[in-house]
Structure 1
Amino acid sequence: MIHSTLEFLTAELNAFIKLKVGDTMGNRIYLSSVTNEAGIAIPDQSLGLSLINIEEERTIKEQRSTYINPVGKVEKRNPEIQLNLYVLITANFQNKNLNDSSDDYVEGLKQLGYAIAFFQSKNVFTKENSPGLSGFDPELMKIVVELYSYSFEQLYNFWTVVGAKYLPSVLYKVKTLKIQENAIQESGDPIEKIHLDTLHKS
């Protein structure tokens, strides 16, 4: 579900940015790690969408562990896990090709701005407003994307950890993905009557 969520958001962003730049052929954003052994992993002259952290959403954690299945049996399984994903969108335009305006630093800022504009205009994705969602994962019901601000210290620490110089980027919090494997631990008939013994021994 994590991969299908990020693939869906990448595809939606890609379609939006291609309309903005007037080029329907090439990809404008890639689902990619920020770096690899060779350096920046995001293709040149493009944006990268990268998962940088996963956290459990505990404020609305499901507590129920027993359920009645369609045939009336009681099933016990672990409560679902709800996750938030932290996703970084990075512009890899480093002016490597000085005579190519499409590799200009300013062009990278422009396309990063398109990504911000996209999520400003649409930050909740459901099967009703995004018909393509079901094609990525039938269990995906709703995706909410929120801009996440972090401090200069956190920014510095992140780019130090990934081992690269800073590139223009914006961080989003994607919430909340529900993970339920439906592994049944116990199964049985429901309790329909409770008998109380009111007789006391003298």
Structure 2
Amino acid sequence: MIHSVLEFLTDELNTFIKLKVGDPTTTRIYLSGVTNEAGIAIPDQSLGISLINIEEERVNKDQQNRFVNAVGKVEKRNPEIRLNLYVLITANFQNKNPNNSSDDYVEGLKQLSYAISFFQSKNVFTPENSPGLGSFDPNLQKIVVELYSYSFEQLYNFWSVVGAKYLPSVLYKIKTISIQENAVLEQGEPIEQIFTQSQHKS
């Protein structure tokens, strides 16, 4: 489920940026970790979309664990887990090729702005407004993307942890992703009548 959400958003954003720059063939954004053993993992002259945190959504958490199935049996299943994903979009344009204007700092800011513009114009994705959503996962019914602001201290701590120098980036919160394996723990007949018995002492 998580990978389907991120692959879908990467594909949608890639299509949008290709239209913006007028180049339909070059991949503009990659689903990638921020760093690896060699340094920055995001390919040069591109954006990276990286999952940096997963949070359980506890507000309005569904505690129901008994359901009636299609044949009228009562099944016990654990409640679904609802998750929020924190995703960083990073521009890796570090002037490695000084004579190439497509590899400069300003170009990176421009393409990062395209990503922000995309989610400003469309931050709710459903099968109705995004027909390709079902091809990534038929269980995905709604994805909501929100810009998430974090402090300079959090920013510093994050880049210190990943062990890299800061690159222009923007953080988004993707909510709410539901995971339900539908593993049946118990099964039985539904309770249709309740009888009470009372005894009187003489």
Quote the Cα distance in structure 2 between the aligned partners of 1:33 and 1:135.
24
1:178 aligns with 2:169: no
Match in the other structure for 1:133: 133
SS at match of 2:182: coil
Amino acid at match of 1:187: Q
Query: d(CA) in 1 for partners of 2:196 and 2:158?
Result: 62
Find the counterpart in structure 1 of residue 49 from structure 2. Answer: 49
Residue 191 (structure 1) shift:
0.3
1:26 shift after superposition = 1.1
Q: Which runs of 5+ in 1 are unaligned?
A: none
Scaled by the length of structure 1, the TM-score of the pair is 0.99
1:109 is matched with: 109
CA deviation digits over 1:32-78, x for unaligned, max 9? 00000000000000000000000000012111010011111000010
- Letter in structure 2 aligned against 1:133: L
What SS is found at the alignment partner of 1:114? helix
The amino acid across from 1:10 in the alignment is T
- Corresponding residue number in structure 1 for 2:29: 29
Q: Which residue of 1 aligns with 2:189?
A: 189
Which letter maps to 1:8?
F
Amino acid at match of 1:173: K
Residue type of the alignment partner of 1:110: K
Q: Deviations over 1:169-196 (max 9, x none)?
A: 0000000000000011000000001111
Report the Cα distance in structure 2 between the residues aligned to 1:54 and 1:200, rounded to whole angstroms. 59
* Residues 63-78 of structure 1 mapped to structure 2, 5 A cutoff: 63-78=63-78
Query: Which amino acid in the other structure matches residue 192 of structure 2?
Result: E
Counterpart Cα distance in 2 of 1:93 and 1:201: 88
Structure 1: distance between partners of 2:195 and 2:61: 34
Quote the RMSD (CA, aligned, Å).
0.6
TM-score, length-scaled by structure 2: 0.99
Give the drift of 1:8.
0.1
Secondary structure at the aligned position of 1:54 is classed as: strand
Which amino acid in 2 is paired with 1:93? F
- 1:167 is matched with 167
Distance 1:76 1:177 in 2: 22
Unaligned runs of 5+ in 2: none
Q: 2: CA distance between counterparts of 1:70 and 1:195?
A: 26
Following the alignment from structure 1 to structure 2, what is the Cα–Cα distance between the partners of residues 80 and 173? 20
CA distance in 2, matches of 1:186, 1:165: 52
Counting matched residue pairs gives 202
Q: Secondary structure at the match of 1:191?
A: coil
Q: 1:95 aligns to what SS in structure 2?
A: coil
For residues 25 and 128 of structure 1, the distance between their equivalents in structure 2, rounded to whole angstroms, comes to: 27
The separation in 1 between residues aligned to 2:132 and 2:43, in whole angstroms, is: 25
Q: How far does residue 109 in structure 1 lie from its aligned partner after superposition?
A: 0.2
Deviation at 1:201, TM superposition (A): 4.4
The correspondence of residues 79-158 of structure 1 with structure 2, limited to 5 A, is 79-158=79-158
